[in-house]
Amino acid sequence: MALAKLMTVDDVADYLNKPRSWVYGNWKAEQIPFRKVGQSLRCRPVDLEKWLDDQN
- Tens-digit pLDDT profile for residues 11-38: 999 999 999 999 999 999 999 999 999 9
pTM above 0.85, yes or no: yes
Could you tell me the residue range of the domain that residue 33 belongs to? 9-54
Residue 3 counted as domain residue: no
Residue 2 counted as domain residue: no
Residue 29 counted as domain residue: yes
Mean pLDDT over each residue of the chain, to the nearest integer = 93
When pLDDT is cut at 50, 70 and 90, the band that residue 46 belongs to is: very high
Residue 22 counted as domain residue: yes
Residue 40 counted as domain residue: yes
Residue 31 counted as domain residue: yes
Residue 1 counted as domain residue: no
Residue 4 counted as domain residue: no
Measured CA to CA, the distance from residue 41 to residue 43 in angstroms comes to: 7
- Indicate the number of domains in the chain: 1
